[in-house]
Amino acid sequence: MRKILKSPTGIIGVILLTIVLFATVFGPWIAPYDPQAFDARARLQGPSMAHWLGTDQYGRDLLSRILSGAPSTVAFGLGATILGVGVGSVIGVIAGVAGGRTDSIIMRILDGMLAMPELLFTLLIVTFLGGGTTQAMLAVAVTFTPGMARIARSAVLSVRTREYVLAAQARGESRAWIVGREVLPNALGPIIVEATIRVSFAIMIGATLGFLGLGAQPPSTEWGLMVAEARQFMFRNPWCVAVPGLAIAITALGFNLFGDALRDAFDPKRGH
Amino acid sequence: MGSRIRTDRGKPQSEAPVLDVRHYSMAYDTEAGTTTALDDVSLMIWRGETHALVGESGSGKSTLAWAITRYMAENARDTGGAILLSGEDMIGKGRAELEALRGRRIAMVYQDPSSSLNPTMRLGEQLTEVLIRHRGMTKTEAWVEGEAALARTGIVKPAEMMMRYPHECSGGEKQRVVIATAFACNPELIIFDEPTTALDILTANQILDLFIRLREETGVAALYITHDLGLVARIASKVSVIHKGKIVEQGDLETVFGAPEHPYTRKLLAALPRPEDRLALPAPTEDTPLFEARDVGVQYNAPGWLTRLLDKSAAAHWGARNITLDVRPGELLGIVGESGSGKSTIAKAATGLNPFEGEIRFVGRSFASRDAFDRKYRRDVQIIFQHPDSSLNPRETIGGILSRPLKLYKLCPAGEVRQRVRELLEMVLLPADYASRYPHQLSGGEKQRVAIARAFAAEPRLVICDEITAALDVSVQAAVARLLVDLQKRSGAACIFITHDLNLIRQLAHRIVVFQRGALVDAFDVADAGSPERHPYTQALLNAVPVPHRPEDQPDLMEPQA
């Protein structure tokens, strides 16, 4: 952690993430207005003392909506990532450890899945599963699985031929012990780092799905949906698009920079 | 310190030296502060002279080479002194001046020819590049000159070699091309940075001969960086010994090697393996073999059925074939051979890391495949690997690593594991509190000691050492070899010692077997190493390695070092 705070990227990432996580945890309580309360007299206003970030087409306070939407948006990103990374890593580790034919079969199937563009693939799954936040989250997780499996497998492969693993094999250790104690702890670094970077992708894909009307449904305060709903009023009040857009960007940037710093901290060649 | 530097130079002082490094110091700025890398280094090289710079890893010998050519890391800082090339100051030179100078006036030859050549360019293009750039030749002229340059390095078909890509040549051929490129512009100074370390013994020998011949033809001044003291005697007339960024001793080869003054030089020379200083235990009397390999073969890359269907000629590659050897209890068997000769392949087969054909026998039990190896066999036969950095799991403490075999083979009750780990550490002469450390906090030699302790923790009857000293510095190497023999004496275990260092194995082994291209070509008692009945390949290997001589006026040198 100290290593992360030494690089400028790391510091900015941590600051952004702290803001986002604070909003996620306390957002709904500190919101000054009810996020669903209409106010016909204050529609599409810019920032003012009463409404710090302005209002949307129904006169709802944007700051309150952003704050109350933070938990669902961030939870979406984290949930999709944890699911996708978890399943993907397990598949990748199995392929990497088993090797040979099992490895070839698993990886060829995953390559097939990887060949499809990420967003199209997500859309395809959502059309199967139907719209809604949970379904969208599952779809993103499934999309993440093949990529994560590849990363986990290559991490395992690079560790598997190290001499300490050979020494364990020569000692006659059980396979489970070799994987659990010798291989996995040393392969975990790249997987964790990739996961933090993927959180921002998940939030962005989630926002895109919300924008297309396939994720969260109105009157949810999910940020992507907010952008989608407000886009026809964009020219009358740019704030109602810019504010949720910026919130998404800050979160994505925060996770991204944090992931970069984490990768540098894990890489012994970059450390001093 | 000044008194240790001998300044009596044989050359006429009227001529200016080609390279003159005067009280040069350099430091790196790191997060932890400034680290001095070179401290008050002085050395001079005249025309036609070869100056060897000898030191162990981390001594700053390559740093000096980089400083001379002014390829410096961003955080490197000159902290004093001067570097003069034929009287011209190098430190003040600008980027363009340096670019014009590198390759034309200073050339470098690096350790690994396969990474110093561009794999996507023909060798001819890489060689003519310097000629076109620095000697202003046209492409056709350069090509003709390039062929002539290659012919001078002893390449038989230079025209053909010019058209090849690096992957189509052997390591020795590649290094010849690199040397031809270095000599192409008649530079004043050539810096050789361990040019033979990555090559096999026989090839390295040819490269050295080539270097000596070209040096005589061109009269170039050379700085020859190496850690191999045995090699220095063949090529250099002057020697500088560098230790922790400081030159501790400098002078003529005969003086420095014959009567070393500085304790560090003495330590280095004493650590050189000399076949006549036997370390081995008395040869075992028992004749029943402990371990036997009968017609053992290992195949790599066996083609699948689909490949065989499409390509009838597809066949597996034999890593080793028809290997028959035996080890008696308490014996140390040496296996020597060049890289790729199948030495490690056999070690891995014997420890169940490679599938094998044939039969392995151990104390009367017979095993026909690696699946037949049971826990008892695996406990009795332990292996130690070459690289100390990768043979210990970086996420486990030393104590955790050493306690594993104890728990796995249930060698002592759970309550006594910690005590036993302490004993193991003391056995390999490490402090007992290392048990709570992580591998990265230990030096290479210390890590290798831990790996040895782990192998002996299982109380094995046979220990296979796969090049365990190859990655270590000379002085550490000698200590590790002594330790191994000591442990063998205490435990009575037999040992298979795989190495390419012939002098070392002649000190350690009772018998030696020689591998060449996956086959066992020779087997003999150490005492018969010089006999004329030896296989020609064995003789070639033995002749390629100079046997270091003991400095005569320093009889106390061979006392064991503390």
Mean pLDDT of B52-68: 87
Closest CA to A194 of A247, A160, A153: A153
Least reliable range by pLDDT among A136-145, B50-59, B444-453, B552-561: B552-561
Size of interface A-B (CB pairs under 8 A): 54
Q: Does A180 touch chain B (CB under 8 A)?
A: no
**pLDDT tens readout for residues B252-276:** 988 888 888 899 988 888 888 888 8
Pick from A198, A217, A194: nearest CA to A126: A217
- Chain A hits for B393, Cβ within 8 Å: 164, 181-182, 185-186
* DSSP category for residue A215: S
d(CA B87, CA B90) in angstroms, rounded, equals 9
Three-class SS of residue B335?
strand
d(CA B406, CA B414): 9
Contact B79, B23 (CB under 8 A): no
The first and second tokens of residue A198, run together, are 């993927």
Tokens linked to A18:
């702290």
Residue B324's pLDDT is what? 92
Q: Is the pLDDT of residue B6 over 60?
A: no
Is-contact B514 B538, C-beta < 8 A? yes
Cα distances (Å, whole numbers) of residue A243 to A237, A250, B4, B310: 11, 11, 74, 61
In this prediction, residue B194 carries a pLDDT of: 87
Question: What region does B247 belong to: left with phi over 0, alpha with psi -120 to 50, or beta?
Answer: beta
Nearest CA in chain B to A187: B395
Q: With beta carbons under 8 A apart, name residues in chain B contacting A180.
A: none
Q: Give the C-alpha separation, B502 to B472, whole Å.
A: 16
Q: Which of A170, A173, A272 sits opposite B351 (nearest CB)?
A: A170
**Could you tell me which residue, A98 or B553, shows the higher pLDDT?**
A98
Q: CA dist B339 to B201, B229, B356, B387, B504, Å?
A: 10, 22, 20, 15, 17
Neighbours of B196 (CB within 10 A): 24
Name the least confident of A95-104, A139-148, A258-267, B439-448.
A258-267
Are the C-beta atoms of residues B21 and B81 closer than 8 Å to each other?
Answer: yes
Within 8 A of A171 by CB-CB distance, chain B residues are 378-379, 382, 404-405, 408, 458
Contact B180, B109 (CB under 8 A): no
pLDDT confidence bin for B25, thresholds 50/70/90: very high
Chain B interface, best mutation among A104, A163, A186, by max B CB count within 10 A: A163
**Is-contact B44 B67, C-beta < 8 A?**
no
> Which residue among B385, B392, B405 sits closest to A171, beta carbon to beta carbon?
B405
Instruction: Give the start-to-end residue ranges of the domains of chain A.
Output: 2-266
Burial of B562 (0-12, 13-18, 19+ CB in 10 A): exposed
pLDDT at B480 over 60: yes
DSSP secondary structure of B413-464: -GGGHHHHHHHHHHHTT--GGGGGS-GGGS-HHHHHHHHHHHHHHT--SEEE
Nearest to B479 by CA among B456, B446, B454: B446
Give residues with Cβ within 8 angstroms of B122, minimum separation 6. Answer: B162, B163, B164, B165
Residue (of A21, A65, A115, A73) closest to A202 by Cα position? A73
Reported ipTM: the value is: 0.78
Cβ–Cβ < 8 Å for B535, B544: no
Q: Which of A211, A192, A219, A6 is nearest to A88 (CA)?
A: A192
Report the pLDDT averaged over residues A218-237.
81
Contact (Cβ atoms closer than 8 angstroms) between residue B327 and residue B494: yes
Distance of CA B209 to the CA centre of its chain: 19
Measured from the Cβ of residue A2, the count of other Cβ atoms closer than 10 Å reads 7
Higher pLDDT among residues B554 and B449, named by residue: B449
Residue whose C-alpha is closest to residue B44's, from B22, B26, B63, B66: B22
Backbone angles phi, psi at B11, to 5 degrees: -75, 155
Contact indicator for B309, B262 with CB cutoff of 8 Å: no
- Chain B CB contacts of A269 below 8 Å: none
Alpha carbons A100 and B232: distance in angstroms, whole number: 48
Residues 462-521 in B contacting A (C-alpha not used; CB under 8 Å): none
Handedness of CA B344, B493, B330, B280 (dihedral sign): positive
What DSSP element (H or E) covers A167?
helix A163-171
Q: Which domains does chain B have, with CATH numbers?
A: 1-105+189-196+220-274 (3.40.50.300), 111-186 (no CATH), 291-546 (3.40.50.300)
Residue A261, pLDDT > 90, answer: no
Residue B8 has pLDDT above 80, yes or no: no
Query: What's the per-residue H, E or C state across B374-390?
Result: CHHHHHHEEEECCCCCC
User: Any CB–CB contact under 8 A between A182 and chain B?
Assistant: yes
Q: How many whole angstroms separate alpha carbon A45 and alpha carbon B164?
A: 73
CA pair distance A69, A225, nearest whole angstrom:
10
- For residue B351, the distance in angstroms to the closest alpha carbon of chain A comes to 5
β-strands B291-300, B381-384 pairing: unpaired
Q: What is the pLDDT of residues B206-233, one digit of tens each?
A: 888 899 998 888 889 999 998 888 788 8
Task: Say if the Cβ atoms of A170 and B375 lie within 8 Å.
Answer: no
Specify the pLDDT at position B14: 58
Best of A103, A159, A164 to mutate (most B CBs within 10 Å, chain B)? A164
Contact criterion met (CB < 8 Å) for A272 and B393:
no
CATH of A2-266, one of 1.10.3720.10, 1.10.1840.10, 1.20.1080.10, 1.20.58.110: 1.10.3720.10
Q: What would the pLDDT profile of B168-201 be if each residue is shown by its tens digit?
A: 888 888 888 999 999 888 899 999 988 888 788 8
How much is the average pLDDT of A240-249?
Answer: 86
Q: Distance, in angstroms, between B307 CA and closest chain A CA? A: 14
Q: Between β-strands B189-193 and B221-226, what pairing exists: parallel, antiparallel or unpaired? A: parallel
* Positions of E strands within B198-340: 221-226, 238-243, 246-252, 291-300, 317-327, 332-336
Is the confidence at residue A60, as pLDDT, over 80? Answer: yes
Question: What mean pLDDT, rounded, does chain B reach?
Answer: 86
**DSSP letter at B119?**
T
Interacting residues of B378 by C-beta distance below 8 A, sequence separation 6+ = A170, A171, A172, B351, B352
The larger pLDDT score, comparing residue A55 to residue B49, is at B49
Structure tokens at A118: 């990420």
